Structures are given as structure tokens and as C-alpha cells.
Amino acid sequence: MPELPEVETTVLDLRKKVLNRTFLDVWTDFPKMIKLPNSFEQFKREIKGEKIEKIWRRGKNILFDFSGDKTLLIHQKLTGHLLLGYWILDNGYWRPKNPGLLGERINTYIHLLFTLDNGKMLVLSDLRKFAKVELLDKKTLEKELISLGPEPLEKGFTFERFKECLSEKKGRIKQVLMDQKVIAGIGNIYSDEILWQAKIHPFKETKQLRDEEIKKIYDTMREILPKAIGVGGESISDFRRISGEKGGFDSLRKVYRREGEKCSRCGTIIKRLKLDGRSAHFCPMCQV
């Protein structure tokens, strides 16, 4: 699933390309993706003619604010990613006009397509069709986002605030870092990377963490997430930038999905264990 760096990368790319553009039309072959309003026909009526005035991120949600009271929310979920370009409908299949990167197989599972006023198309490619799309008024949006924890890169998210967040939630540190009600935006990839660099075992209980360990996690989090944004996120799975290209974090990935390989710090073989249905990748020597 795209996490904070991948979603922020998408938002930054979109701001350069579609800000102040207007939605002229929308197509889907999977209306269930539209959660609000209740029908695709209503969604289509309400979004046509809306001009994009702001593009921002909250947690893993991409948000388009329009000139009126409406906001388009897209949560890419497990395998979704937005792309921008030109497509041609060919026997019920959307084919990129200029294939290149957009022709890569992972970019061809198009289930939602917006036509913009400059002729370009904004599409959602989603292999598993888990993505969520909603058109909300500001009041409903506020209710939708209220349960999310603080943004880990906000200036006001101090070490003391982070420490307070951990003290309010019991559990193993990897689970807590991925809990969107505690901190917004971190998932499986970056929880593994943060804890490896901080030398903290993912199964360690938050109540067992010393202040210096919490500080190390905080500092590492504030270092790794911006670094990942800077290189365009991680594309080990389905995520692609709106151009169709891969993010560059893979060369920086130290532990996530590296089970069986040698730890780049100490040479010990990296392990993978299940934690509440998710995988935790870690070095059994470095992380204690």
C-alpha cells in the first residue's frame, strides 16, 4: 500500500500538473469504487465542471479541494496509483496513446478515468480494485479525517508529542507506528525501515521503550520519511508516480522484504516474522 512518502510524492507531482484544471467528465467500469455519493451517476453530475484549487494529503489520503464546498478524496489502498497522460478506448480497454512507462503492465489496470479541460486524463490504475473514492462536503470530510493521528512531519509534531502518542497506546512498537489513529501515514515499509535504523526490535512493547530509544525512533522517522519523499517513494510493489515511473527508494531500502539477505550493518541474516497478520522484517542482531 502506498504510504506517506508515496502519497506525498503523488500530491507533489499532481500540484505541478493538474492544479487549476477542471474536470470535464469521468468514466469507470467499477462503480463500487465510488463510496460517496451513493451512485456513480450522481458522482459524475457533481464533479463535472469542478475546478481544482488545492491538492493536499492527510495520512494516506489524496485530497482535491474545489472552488465550491466539495473535496474529492482518493485513498489508493493496496494496489492503486494515479497516472496522468492520454488514453484511447480500444474495444473496452484503455490503451495509452504514447505507451512508454504508461504501458507497463502494472499501469494498465484502469478502473477510473477523469478527463481534464486541457485534454489530459487522470486515471486510477488498481489491480485489486480496493481503492476508495469519495466526493465530500467540507463538514463530512472533517468527520472522515478526525480519527487520524498527527502528521509525523508537521513542524508541531515534536518529540514530546510523539512520546505522548506512544504512551497513549499499548502494543508492540511496529503495530503502534502503523496505527493510523496514533500517527498518520506510516505502514509496513517505513515502520520496518525506521525501526532497523533506530536499532529497535519491532516486537518490543512501547511501555518497555526508554526515552533515548523513543528519541531515536522519532529522529529516524523524521529523517527517513523526507528522504523517501525526496527520491519519489518505494516501487517494490505496485506504486508508480503519475508519469508511470518508479520511485527511487529501493536503493535505500535496508530491511523491508530483504529476509534471507545479510544485514548491511552487521552481516547477520535478516529475518521476517508475522505480527498481527503483517510481516516484520528485522535484523536479530542489530535490533534488540
- The answer to whether residue 60 is catalytic is yes
Nearest-angstrom CA–CA distance, 157 and 166: 13
Catalytic one of 51, 204, 278, 284: 278
Nearest-angstrom CA–CA distance, 110 and 126: 6
- The answer to whether residue 216 is catalytic is no
Q: Which DSSP string do the residues of the chain spell out, in sequence order?
A: ---HHHHHHHHHHHHHHTTT-BEEEEEES-GGGEEESSSHHHHHHHHTT-BEEEEEEETTEEEEEESSSEEEEEE-TTTEEEEEE-EEEETTEEEESS-GGGGSGGG--EEEEEEETTS-EEEEEESS---EEEEEEHHHHHHHHTT----TTSTT--HHHHHHHHHT--SBHHHHHH-TTTSSS--HHHHHHHHHHHT--TT-BGGG--HHHHHHHHHHHHHHHHHHHHTT---SSS---TTSPPPSGGGG-SSTT-TTSBPTTT-PBPEEEEETTEEEEE-TTT--
- The answer to whether residue 223 is catalytic is no
Nearest-angstrom CA–CA distance, 163 and 120: 45
Residue 62: left (phi > 0), alpha (psi -120 to 50), or beta?
beta
Catalytic one of 21, 44, 57, 60: 60
Catalytic one of 3, 144, 193, 234: 3
- The answer to whether residue 278 is catalytic is yes
Question: Any idea which residues carry the catalytic annotation?
Answer: 2-3, 60, 278
